[in-house]
Amino acid sequence: MFTNKNITDIFFSRSRLKKCFFLFSVFILFFEGNSIGQQTEEQRVDSLDRIADTTSSIRKRSEVLFELAATFIGSDPIRSRRYSETCIEAAENSNYLLGIGDCSNSLGLLHFYQSNYDTAQIVFERLISIGRTLNDSILLFKGYGNMGLVHSRIGKLNQAILYFQKSLRINEAMGRLWSVAKLNGDIGGVYMLMGDWSTAMNFQRSALQTYKMLKSERGVAKAMNAIGVVFQEQLVYDSARWYFEESLATKIKYGKNRAWVTTKGNLCRLYTDLKEKDDALACFEELIPIEKKFGMQHDLSLSLNNLALLYADSKQIKKGIETGKQALMLAEKIKSVQAQRGANNALSLLYEKSGDYKNAFHYATASRIAHDSFVNERQTERIAELQTQFETEKKEKTIALQALEIENNNQRIRFQQLITIGAVISIAGLFAFLLWRFRHRQKMQRQKDALMYQEQLLHSTVSSVEEERKRISKDLHDGIGQQLAGLKLAWENITGDITGLNESNTSKIDELTVVLQDVTDEVRNISHQMMPAALRELGLVPAIEDMLNKSFEYSNIACNFEHVGVNERFTERIEIGLYRICQELINNIIKHAEASHVEVHLFKTAKQIILKVSDDGKGFSPDALSQAGNGMNNIQSRIKSVNGDVQYERENGQGVSAHIRIPIPNQGDL
């Protein structure tokens, strides 16, 4: 037998969903209660409340609130919901996804218990989404299992089985035998709803065997309840009664909770099937107030429906119709197809016994529409018989039908008016949509034109700068450079002819010769930097090699340059752009990186040229890019001018790696 600690470990180790279907009521999910005394339970709750109010840890507070929500999920739904919503709010404020998932599970179960199936489905979908984000198997099996419960309640049985099977596979892989047993029971419950009693019995017996192996007293009671339902539907009433009574004897130990309601409801229906009216009436009178207390609207609808049938057998037709309508209103409110079908069938029978064949036919037809797959041939024959009786009665009420026809004509006119109004609204809506679409396209075109103008302006600016660099480089080389070379040659000739100078004058002449040589070299270097001769004459790879050699020649920085597949010449715009980008990156490394090693890689793919420049220096934060100086801005402008992109990454916690990708234009684009 489980001790209180065992139960808590099972529930709060995030496998705390214990669900089991029964026919039409779909086996209410319930949680294990507490076997300790009331005083100890109150002390534990008070202690948890104090922890939730005082702890500064968001994670701890979420876990405590989740435990409190789970504690009251079966006994005090309002209190449990308050804890669940507070837990979700606390977890959301700190973006603690695991806490949001756990508390969403509790909140979804509360909505499920109260038959708010649409809301429960939304909450469980969020739970599954968080489980996928975190790749958390426990959140996923909870979400899938609970979605299976919701879909079984709203009559989508095939989808329910798919969700249960997903949850089952996860639990089997994790070796969670208790959850495997529970899910076998859930799947068996869906097959019971489908009327496949043989398959249902196999799943329920498998669940019972696993529960016995785990020595789970409550699990055994739950499985015995489900097996009792199978026997009841197969009209093996003695076996059904034995299983129900054995299950109830165990569950009553833990009080009249949700689990007790499940089996008690089945036993009440068994009394009804056995025509034991007094026992059935007493049973439902005990059961219905407890279902109302826990807000178990689905089960309450079924119990009211069965009570209406008992009134029909007792010839209390008026009271039966009143009770049946209560059951139907509740079934429609909670959108339970099975409960609606049962309530409609009960009302059809009651009206038939009262001689009101019109309403009898109406409710019999509604039952067929609600769940056509559950209507057998005998029901179809009964509907046909009721329709015949209704037609006979209709002939005797010609005047009433004429009045009804007039009302129908009025309704038809009103319907046509609504169609006309709807058509006008639709046309107006279409016109508004077309106007919005036209203006949206105009806006997009203006944005496109502005972007194209910016690109053209950037290309024009870069091209102008490069043309100006070429001109200055040519002027320096052909003008000042040639003149300095001539001047140097003339100076050397003059100084060579001068003799008889003392040592001081000779030293000054030598110094002036060195200065003249330095000026000549500096002009040549500036000319080459403005437009490298290697780039113009030999191409991109030799130009980069030359630039790297000159940049690192007198530094302590080691440089390695590798290139693959970059053999042919590219457009001048691409070659100059890549060269300037690489040159600016190298300058930044020398000035700011404090690096000892630099790697430069240049290679070509089918559609791109890729330049990667890496260093082992001190690096920089990506946030620093927003405050970058002229160098980084120049890099961005160069990259945009050739339609490329750049990414900066940290290299193993130090240094920076810049990845530049530039598309190679097609021949038609050149």
For tokens 């890549």, name the residue. Answer: 578
Contact status, residue 217 vs residue 180, Cβ threshold 8 Å: no
Banded pLDDT at 663 (limits 50, 70, 90): very high
Structure confidence by residue, pLDDT tens digits, 325-353: 888 888 888 777 777 888 888 888 888 88
The single-letter DSSP state of residue 601 is E
Sequential DSSP letters for 357-400 = HHHHHHHHHHHHHHTGGG--HHHHHHHHHHHHHHHHHHHTTHHH
Residue 657, C-beta contacts closer than 8 angstroms, at least 6 positions apart: 612, 613, 614, 648, 649, 650, 651
**Best-predicted range by mean pLDDT among 219-233, 448-462, 614-628?**
219-233
Banded pLDDT at 467 (limits 50, 70, 90): low
Rounded to two decimals, what is the model's pTM? 0.41
Alpha helix positions (H), 114-196 = 117-134, 137-153, 157-174, 177-194
**pLDDT for residue 590 is more than 50:** yes
Which stretches does DSSP call E strand in 146-283?
A: none
What is the arithmetic mean of pLDDT over 143-147? 88
Residue 505, CB half-sphere, CA atoms under 13 Å: how many? 6
Q: How far is CA 363 from the centre of its chain?
A: 42
* CA distances from residue 535 to 8, 296, 301, 573 in whole angstroms, order as listed: 75, 83, 87, 12
**Distance between CA atoms of 109 and 471, rounded to whole angstroms?**
78
What is the arithmetic mean of pLDDT over 394-408? 68
Structure tokens at 629: 């100086």
* pLDDT given at position 530: 62
Contact status, residue 84 vs residue 69, Cβ threshold 8 Å: yes
Banded pLDDT at 212 (limits 50, 70, 90): confident
Residue 76, C-beta contacts closer than 8 angstroms, at least 6 positions apart: none
* pLDDT given at position 29: 32
Banded pLDDT at 25 (limits 50, 70, 90): very low
Contact status, residue 309 vs residue 335, Cβ threshold 8 Å: no
For tokens 């990454």, name the residue. Answer: 649
Structure tokens at 178: 């208790």
Q: Which one has a higher pLDDT value, 483 or 143?
A: 143
Structure tokens at 419: 């169609």
**pLDDT for residue 661 is more than 90:** yes
What is the arithmetic mean of pLDDT over 348-374? 77
**Distance between CA atoms of 345 and 659, rounded to whole angstroms?**
72
Phi-psi sector, 427: left (phi>0), alpha (psi -120 to 50), beta: alpha
What is the arithmetic mean of pLDDT over 508-528? 71
Which residue, among 150, 122, 131, has the nearest Cα to 26 in the 3D structure?
150
CA quadruple 307, 311, 316, 322: dihedral positive or negative? positive
Q: Are strands 558-564 and 597-604 parallel, antiparallel or unpaired?
A: parallel
Residues 349-381 as b/e (b if ≥16 CB within 10 A, e otherwise) read bbbbeeebbebbbbbbebbbebbeebbeeeeee
Q: Which one has a higher pLDDT value, 71 or 491?
A: 491
* pLDDT given at position 146: 87
Structure tokens at 590: 């020398």
* pLDDT given at position 7: 30
Structure tokens at 399: 């005047």
- On average, the pLDDT of the chain sits at 76
**Best-predicted range by mean pLDDT among 44-53, 615-624, 626-635, 655-664?**
655-664
Q: Write the single-letter amino acid at 508.
A: K
Which residue, among 245, 247, 234, 320, has the nearest Cα to 277 in the 3D structure?
320
Burial class of residue 473 (count of CB atoms within 10 Å of its CB; 0-12, 13-18, 19+): buried
**pLDDT for residue 387 is more than 70:** no
**Distance between CA atoms of 272 and 274, rounded to whole angstroms?**
5
**Distance between CA atoms of 188 and 182, rounded to whole angstroms?**
10
Other Cβ atoms less than 10 A from the Cβ of 210: the count is 21
Banded pLDDT at 559 (limits 50, 70, 90): very high
Q: What percentage of residues in the chain have a pLDDT greater than 90?
A: 5
CA quadruple 593, 599, 603, 607: dihedral positive or negative? negative
For tokens 């090693």, name the residue. Answer: 597
Contact status, residue 296 vs residue 261, Cβ threshold 8 Å: yes
What is the arithmetic mean of pLDDT over 294-323? 80
The single-letter DSSP state of residue 14 is I
**pLDDT for residue 611 is more than 90:** yes
CA quadruple 466, 470, 471, 476: dihedral positive or negative? positive
* pLDDT given at position 560: 92
Other Cβ atoms less than 10 A from the Cβ of 508: the count is 10
The single-letter DSSP state of residue 17 is -
Structure tokens at 517: 């040589």
Q: Report phi then psi at 365, rounded to 5.
A: -65, -40
